[in-house]
Structure formats: C-alpha cells, structure tokens
C-alpha cells in the first residue's frame, strides 16, 4: 500500500536515437495511410480509429482533457490537443493490461517524435516495429519515467525510410506504475528540437533479472514458518485473520498489551457516521507468543492511520482529525466518552497512505508522527482561521499532550511511515521513492519527492505571506536555497532507471524503494550487535532491512547491514515494528496481493491481516504493569537496559505531574551517573515532569558531555521564551563550543528566538570554518539566518563579514539581492 509516485527519469531506447532540447517547437506531420489520409496518431478524432486493441487496458480510450491533475496535484498530463492515451485513466488503474497497435504506415521522413509518460517498467513501453508481412523487428523501444507528465522523445528513423512500420503501445504490468501514457506521433524531415525532451541517448543499462520469491498468499501459520531469520531468532503468529484484519497502526501499553487499529475504510474516508475502522486490544497471558485475550475497544472509526496510548486515553489519527478518546476500566478498556477533536485540517482526499501516521512518544514528552508529501494539509484547532493553522506536507510533526501545541518538527522527504529515536534522542525516519533513511533535526529542511518547501511555523508564514500560493494556500518558502540530503550511503533499489523500475528486481540491493515502519533496537534480549541498528520493512522486497548508523560530524552516515528477515512471501506488507518489555519484536502485516496505493475501494483484500512476534533464544513473555509502580520505581527504570521501561516510565511520571521527590532523584542521575544515556533519560524525564528549571538547565549546559549540553539547549528553548542569560549562553556556545552536535542544537534553538535577537548567536556559528563539509551545519546555519538577512541589511552585512563557510557567503549575498530589506537594526 505504500508504493508512491515520483519525477525520475527512466527510459530504454536504442543507441541510434538522438535528442536535443531547445525552445523551438516544429509541428511535424502525421503519418499517412495507404490512401494518403493522415492517420489518427494524435487521437484528435476522439476514438481509436486506425488502431487495434487487445486486452482491457485500452478500453474507454482515448482520454479527453487533463484527468491527471484532479487526482494528483503534483502532475499534469501535458498532452497535445484534446485527446491522449493513458491506461491508468480508464477507471481500472494499474490492473488493466493490453496492447494497442497502429495501422501500418510507411516511414516517409527520417525523424519521428511522440509524447511519452507512465511507468518505467519493462512491460510498459512503446515500440516502433518494422512490419513486413509476418516478419517484424523492433527498432525503437522506450518506457515512461514514473511520471504522468507526457514529454517528447525523438527517434532517428533515417535507416528505415521507405519501409513499413507499426506503433505498438504495451501495458503488460499490474503493479505500481503499471501503465503507459502516449500521444501525438509525428514525422519530421530533420531532427526536431523539442523542449523538455527525454534524452534517449543515455543508455542506462539493463535492469537486473526478476526477483524469485518462493511464496504468495500463505496462511499466517505458514508465513511464520517460511520466514528466513538471523541465527537464534524465531517467529510466531501472534494473531491472524479473522481475529485481526487490515492492521494499519499499533502501539504497546504499560502492561505490554497490543492496541491495534484495523483500517477497513482505507483508501477513502467514508461518509460521516459510516466508518468501519476499529481498535482492538490483544493480550498474551500465558506467555506462549500468541494472544489469548482479544477485546474490541472501539468501532465505527473513519480512515484511521495513527495510534498511541497515554495520558488516560487513546490518541487516534483519522484524517481530517487528530482525536483523543478517554479510557475507563483499563482492565477491560472501553471509551469513557466521545472522541475529542484536538486538531483538524489533515487532508483525506488525495494520497491517503500518507496521512498522519506512526505515532510515538518522543523523549521530550511530545507526541510525534509522520505525514506525506501529497496530502497537503492546513492543521489547527477546530474552528481556527487560516492565520492560526499550520501547513504540513512531507514532515515530522509533534503535539504536546498537555500544552496542546502543534508544531512541524522538520520538513521534507516524501512519504515517511516510520519514526523512532535512538539512545541519544536522535530522530530517524524512513521514506519511499527518495532515498530511504533520514536523520531528522528540529527546524531542518530535507530533499523532497515533489512540491515546494514551505514555512514551518506561523511566524515564518507571516514573514513570507507574499509567497503564499493563492490557489492551494500553501505558504511557500523560496529562500531555502538548498536542502539536507539522506544519510544513507546506499539505496535499496537496483539499476539507474529510478526507484520504481527496480521493483521486484532489487533483491541484491535490498528489495526496492518502498518502506514502512522503522525501529531502532534498544531492547535487552537480542545480541549486542543489533543494538542501535535501524530496522525497516521493505515492501517490494518482502523483508526487514537493517541499516547501521555511525556518527559523523553533527550527524550520521547509515550503511547497509545484513537483511534481518526475509518473509519469502510476495504478499507480505509489514507496516510497523515495536519492541516490548522483554526486548522482543512485534510486527503488524497488512498482507495483500496489491502492494501499491490507489484509490480503488475494491483494490484490497479486506480479509487478511497478521501480527507476528520475533524472539531471540525463545525469550519468554513477562507480565508488567507500570501504572502500578511507585514514583521512585519509575525513576529507577530510567537506568534499565531495555529502553521500553525508560520510555513508558517517563510518560507515566509525566502523567502524574511534577513532584519534588521525583525531581531530586532525577537530578542525582543527571549529576552522578557515569552513563550519558542514563543522564539523558533523567534529563528528559525532568523536563517532561516540569522539573528542568532554567537555573538547573544553565548548569547542565556546563556538562562535559556534548549530548547533555545539546539536549539542555533544546529543552530550555521549548517554549520560545529565552531569558537574556540563556541568550548569552547560546551565543557563547555558538562561538566556543567544540562539538558540532552542540552547534547543531544551537542553530535549531536559535530558530525559536525572535529574529532581531539572533545576530550574536549567528556571528558565532558563521565563524566556524571547520563546518564547511559537515552534512548539516552550513544549511542549518542558513535556515536560522535567512529571516534576519532578509529583514536587516546591517545584520546581513555583519554576517557576510563573519562567514568562513563559502556557501553561507553565497546564500547571504543571494538573499540580500532577492528583496530590499524593510528595516535596519542598531547592531
């Protein structure tokens, strides 16, 4: 369900083709029939006259007008005239297959062009075929580029002038991008110079052979048995159909119970009151790796995509809403009232596999989630006007459970559906189509699959109101100038034709471009070699990939580790992964023959769904109930090797509110524990329980450990109300701190400072010549500096003089020339 669309070039053609792109657009001529009449190769007769179809892909063709943009705001058909061929557009999406063959014609000119779009797969293609009786030879072949936009491609037919030819349009694919777009075949006497043409001279080589997958459509028990796991690991079917179907989101509560959302309504939100989604609670009381108690918590929900438990209730993402449902009787959980709408405005009309998803509690006490690139949303409290709403697409977001504040944490990538934090509180996500692994930094901007960067706060939106798109209302942000790239030193798709072309052909590379779910292992029952590694499901590769992160500068590099699991089953579609109180792994599996998102309600098998459990050395299940623990017991859980205990205990303490005794115990850990990860856990818990005063925080900024200093900066700046003492300390750290991580956090924090007070901090950051090659720092410095440069010519000039990083000098100069600053400071 996660396959996504992308603008990436991928074309197969013979080497004799040649294309040059210029602005001049010669008209060309249509080929003629034997009777001398122009053939219907531009489809402007509104029919398939002069063509012969087989199969069902070309039913209801040709298409009239741009039918793409209404369903995909990021693409257009870009056809010629009124009519064109698009095999997705006949109502059957990628399922239909067939061929469309033209009437024979004589090659009367040395050059030809046609418009081409659709999929880059080997069996979505256009062929020019020499046809002499029963004999035929393909002399030109081209596939689309995984974009709906039709673009010209040119073929050199000089060697074939005078010979008979046919055009064959082929759609023999059924998966994602399994369709072809075509229009306007024309002849030319000379090589045409066409704008935005596909360069067929670039021979990108053959794709690897099709992956061999042993199974498809297994029962749940068979699927567990046929998995290939690493030595010492075993898998059991914790729950399967009919007890669980369409599992789309899940979480684990303080007793180790699984709360699972069933997404029957996907992919289209049902009319109000007609939703069919529900939330189930599963429990394993005898510890055999299978549930023995199942409880229906709530029914009639609508388009659920995110789920988490805490603060006396259940947090549910169900676009257009973020909901909270209070719980009564946690022994037999049931709603204590109607769902409360905390936020609305989340898009539910477009790519609904990108709505708000994979909720998790962050180390700072906020609820975090992901959101995709093609679901443009204006999020705010119910009834809020536009000026109080935050635009969001392609982002990590967070929501505070008691302050009820919503923020975009970082912006960019594509369609993330998986998020986790490592032992140092660093945020990582997976994504699709663009490279798969990203280190997410507060206030950062990342390479996008499509669309424009936007203002990430209401303050930034107000500063850039003139750039708002008047139709979509997107508050565009044009001054980013560059964005942060993936931390991966590899991708999981094969070949050079783009991510979709590698589907079902990327076994050696990692399985393919589509990912779902992300887990950083921090349990205590697996071998140490797995701890801290990043696990994510690869949908087309039917496996769990493992990436190995290592620190570099202010960030990380992630290398390709050995795949953790191969499901050996084409229908496998794990959507998320979590570990429990024993360090064992749970996975929810949507399980469906169809691997790609589309809006066809009948395009999914609603009867399937599984939950698998993976253990090492047959790890037993222990019974827990953290809500029954004393405050001091919960504090001591911040020292537990299994981070599950630390996370849940932190949130329970946050729910209980500030207590002096709790704060005193946590302060002792921060001050005296030799392990930095325990210091951090205690610091996070202090903050979550309102125990991190500015006085204490300023003292923590003197810590010998860079991680502790860095996190103290973020936590102290949470409410965007720094004192003069804190601002002075930030300026000192910016100038003198030797840690690139600390400077990264200073740059993030300074974005939460009033623009006219940022200069002292920025002067310190801009002077670090050693940051020239850092993956993050030059751009993070720029994102913080941009509004000051754009509004204060004197401050901009000072920064230009301080900058020892060439790209910053370039950006400052570029921004100074972009607009005339309105104000000048007295700095």
DSSP secondary structure, 451-489, as one string: S--B--SHHHHHHTGGGB-TTT--BB-TT--S-B--SBS
Task: Clarify whether residues 637 and 674 are in a common domain.
Answer: yes
Which of 554, 581, 616 is at the close of a domain? 616
756 domain-assigned: yes
Among the residue ranges 72-81, 196-205, 560-569, 584-593, the one predicted with the least confidence is 196-205
Q: How far is CA 15 from CA 21, 139, 743, 784, in A?
A: 17, 10, 51, 48
Distance CA 244, CA 282 (A): 10
Task: Clarify whether residues 73 and 139 are in a common domain.
Answer: yes
775 domain-assigned: yes
Q: pLDDT exceeding 70 applies to what percent of the chain?
A: 95
Task: Clarify whether residues 168 and 237 are in a common domain.
Answer: no
Distance CA 533, CA 526 (A): 12
214 domain-assigned: no
Omega before residue 745 within 30° of 0, cis: no
Q: Is 608 helix (H, G, I), strand (E, B) or coil?
A: coil
Among the residue ranges 84-93, 102-111, 512-521, 618-627, the one predicted with the least confidence is 84-93
Task: Clarify whether residues 745 and 653 are in a common domain.
Answer: no
Which of 170, 205, 240 is at the close of a domain? 205
Task: Clarify whether residues 647 and 723 are in a common domain.
Answer: no
Q: For residues 21 and 165, which has the higher predicted lDDT (pLDDT)?
A: 165
Q: Which two tokens stand for residue 577?
A: 């992964």
Q: What are the tens digits of pLDDT across the range 13-69?
A: 322 233 233 334 678 999 999 999 999 999 999 999 999 999 999 999 999 999 999
**Contact call for residues 316 and 327 (beta carbons, < 8 A):** no
Among the residue ranges 135-144, 427-436, 447-456, the one predicted with the least confidence is 135-144
Mean pLDDT of 304-312: 98
Task: Clarify whether residues 229 and 358 are in a common domain.
Answer: yes
Mean pLDDT of 598-603: 81
Q: How far is CA 550 from CA 487, 553, 558, 561, 602, in A?
A: 10, 10, 6, 12, 44
Confidence of residue 10 (pLDDT cuts 50, 70, 90): very low
* Torsion, CA 735, CA 737, CA 741, CA 743, rounded to 10: -10
Task: Clarify whether residues 186 and 306 are in a common domain.
Answer: no
Would you say residue 472 has pLDDT above 80?
yes
Task: Clarify whether residues 587 and 697 are in a common domain.
Answer: no
Q: Which two tokens stand for residue 43?
A: 């489809």
Q: Is 556 helix (H, G, I), strand (E, B) or coil?
A: strand
pLDDT confidence of residue 604: 85
Residues 6+ apart with CB under 8 A from 22: 193, 194, 195
Q: Which of 286, 289, 290, 262 is nearest to 276 (CA)?
A: 262
Q: What are the tens digits of pLDDT across the range 428-437?
A: 999 999 999 9
113 domain-assigned: yes
Q: Which two tokens stand for residue 767?
A: 């002077």
Residue 54: beta bridge partners?
Answer: 99
Distance CA 425, CA 364 (A): 9
Task: Clarify whether residues 354 and 500 are in a common domain.
Answer: yes
Task: Clarify whether residues 63 and 125 are in a common domain.
Answer: yes
CATH of the domain at 485: 2.120.10.30
Q: For residues 749 and 823, which has the higher predicted lDDT (pLDDT)?
A: 749
703 domain-assigned: yes
236 domain-assigned: yes
Mean pLDDT of 538-562: 97
From first CA to last CA, the distance across the chain in angstroms is 54
Q: What are the tens digits of pLDDT across the range 234-272?
A: 999 999 999 999 999 999 999 999 999 999 999 999 999
**Contact call for residues 731 and 541 (beta carbons, < 8 A):** no
Residue 208 phi, psi (nearest 5): -60, 165
Distance CA 745, CA 747 (A): 5
**Contact call for residues 812 and 785 (beta carbons, < 8 A):** yes
Number of domains in the chain: 4
**Contact call for residues 563 and 543 (beta carbons, < 8 A):** yes
Residues 6+ apart with CB under 8 A from 738: none
Distance CA 541, CA 570 (A): 8
pLDDT confidence of residue 819: 67
Helices 793-802 and 759-766 pack at an angle, to 10 degrees, of 20
Which of 689, 713, 738 is at the close of a domain? 689
Q: Is 398 helix (H, G, I), strand (E, B) or coil?
A: strand
211 domain-assigned: no
**What residue spans of 554-675 are helical by DSSP H?**
631-636, 643-656, 660-672
Distance CA 259, CA 248 (A): 11
- CA dihedral sign, ordered 654, 655, 660, 665: negative
CATH of the domain at 771: 1.25.10
**Contact call for residues 1 and 595 (beta carbons, < 8 A):** yes
Residues 6+ apart with CB under 8 A from 786: 479, 480, 811, 815
Task: Clarify whether residues 603 and 644 are in a common domain.
Answer: no
Q: Which of 296, 260, 229 is nearest to 526 (CA)?
A: 229
210 domain-assigned: no
Task: Clarify whether residues 490 and 345 are in a common domain.
Answer: yes
pTM for the structure as a whole:
0.82
**Contact call for residues 103 and 166 (beta carbons, < 8 A):** yes
Q: Is 652 helix (H, G, I), strand (E, B) or coil?
A: helix
**Contact call for residues 435 and 474 (beta carbons, < 8 A):** no
Q: Which domain holds residue 795?
A: 693-827
């Amino acid at each position: 369900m996660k396959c996504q669309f992308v603008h990436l070039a991928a074309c197969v053609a013979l080497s004799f083709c040649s294309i040059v792109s210029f602005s001049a657009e010669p008209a060309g001529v249509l080929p003629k029939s034997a009777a001398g009449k122009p053939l219907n190769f531009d489809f402007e007769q509104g029919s398939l006259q002069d063509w012969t179809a087989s199969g069902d892909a070309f039913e209801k063709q040709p298409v009239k007008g741009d039918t793409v943009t209404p369903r995909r705001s990021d693409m257009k058909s870009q056809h010629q005239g009124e009519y064109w061929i698009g095999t997705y557009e006949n109502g059957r999406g990628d399922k239909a297959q067939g061929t469309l063959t033209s009437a024979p014609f004589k090659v009367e000119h040395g050059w030809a062009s046609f418009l081409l779009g659709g999929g880059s797969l080997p069996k979505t293609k256009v062929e020019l075929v020499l046809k002499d009786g029963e004999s035929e030879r393909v002399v030109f072949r081209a596939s689309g580029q995984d974009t709906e936009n039709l673009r010209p491609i040119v073929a050199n037919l000089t060697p074939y002038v005078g010979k008979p030819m046919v055009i064959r349009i082929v759609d023999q694919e059924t998966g994602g991008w399994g369709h072809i777009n075509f229009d306007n075949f024309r002849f030319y006497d000379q090589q045409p110079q066409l704008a935005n043409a596909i360069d067929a001279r670039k021979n990108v080589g053959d794709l690897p052979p099709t992956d061999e997958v042993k199974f498809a459509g297994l029962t749940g028990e068979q699927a567990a048995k046929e998995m290939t796991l690493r030595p010492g690991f075993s898998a059991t079917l914790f729950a399967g159909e009919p007890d669980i179907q369409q599992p789309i989101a899940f979480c684990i509560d303080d007793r180790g119970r699984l709360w699972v959302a069933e997404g029957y309504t996907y992919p289209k939100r049902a009319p109000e009151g007609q939703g069919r989604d529900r939330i189930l609670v599963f429990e394993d009381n005898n510890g055999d790796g299978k549930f023995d108690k199942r409880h229906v918590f709530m029914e009639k929900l609508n388009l659920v995509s995110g789920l988490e438990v805490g603060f006396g209730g259940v947090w549910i993402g169900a676009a257009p809403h973020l909901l909270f449902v209070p719980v009564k009787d946690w022994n037999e959980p049931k709603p204590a009232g109607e769902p409360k709408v905390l936020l609305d405005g989340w898009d539910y009309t477009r790519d609904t596999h990108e709505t708000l998803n994979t909720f998790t509690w962050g180390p700072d006490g906020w609820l975090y989630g992901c959101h995709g690139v093609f679901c443009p949303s204006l999020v705010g409290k119910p009834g809020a006007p536009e000026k109080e709403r935050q635009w969001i697409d392609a982002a990590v977001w967070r929501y505070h459970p008691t302050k009820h504040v919503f923020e975009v944490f970082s912006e960019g990538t594509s369609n993330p559906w998986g998020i986790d934090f490592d032992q140092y509180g660093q945020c990582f996500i997976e994504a699709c189509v663009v490279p798969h692994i990203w280190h997410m930094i507060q206030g950062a901007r990342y390479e996008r699959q499509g669309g424009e960067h936007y203002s990430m706060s209401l303050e930034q939106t107000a500063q850039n109101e003139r750039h708002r798109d008047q139709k979509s209302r997107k508050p565009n942000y044009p001054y980013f100038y560059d964005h942060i790239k993936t931390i991966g030193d590899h991708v999981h798709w094969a070949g050079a034709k783009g991510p979709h072309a590698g589907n079902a052909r990327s076994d050696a590379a990692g399985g393919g471009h589509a990912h779902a779910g992300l887990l950083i292992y921090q349990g205590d029952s697996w071998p140490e070699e797995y701890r801290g590694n990043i696990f994510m499901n690869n949908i087309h590769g039917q496996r769990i990939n493992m990436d190995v992160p290592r620190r570099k500068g202010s960030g990380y590099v992630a290398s390709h580790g050995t795949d953790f699991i191969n499901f050996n089953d084409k229908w496998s579609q794990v959507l998320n992964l979590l570990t429990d109180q024993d360090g064992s792994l749970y996975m929810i599996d949507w399980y469906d023959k169809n691997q790609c998102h589309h809006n066809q309600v009948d395009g999914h098998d609603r009867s399937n769904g599984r939950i698998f459990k993976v253990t090492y050395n047959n790890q037993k299940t222990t019974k827990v109930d953290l809500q029954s623990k004393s405050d001091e017991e919960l504090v001591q859980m911040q020292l537990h090797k299994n981070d599950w205990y630390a996370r849940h205990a932190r949130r329970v303490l946050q729910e209980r509110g500030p207590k002096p005794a709790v704060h005193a115990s946590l302060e002792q850990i921060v001050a005296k524990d030799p392990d930095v990860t325990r210091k951090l856990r205690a610091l996070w818990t202090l903050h979550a329980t309102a125990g991190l005063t500015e006085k204490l925080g300023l003292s923590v900024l003197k810590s010998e450990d860079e991680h502790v200093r860095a996190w103290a900066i973020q936590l102290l700046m949470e409410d965007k109300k720094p004192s003069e003492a804190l601002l002075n300390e930030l300026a000192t750290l910016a100038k003198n701190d030797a840690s690139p991580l600390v400077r990264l956090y200073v740059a993030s924090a300074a974005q939460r400072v009033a623009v006219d007070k940022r200069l002292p901090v920025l002067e310190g950051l801009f002077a670090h010549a050693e940051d020239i090659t850092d993956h993050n720092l030059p751009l993070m410095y720029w994102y913080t500096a941009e509004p000051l440069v754009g509004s204060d010519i004197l401050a901009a000039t000072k920064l230009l003089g301080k900058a020892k990083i060439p790209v910053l000098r370039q950006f400052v100069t570029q921004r100074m020339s972009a607009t005339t600053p309105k104000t000048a400071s007295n700095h």
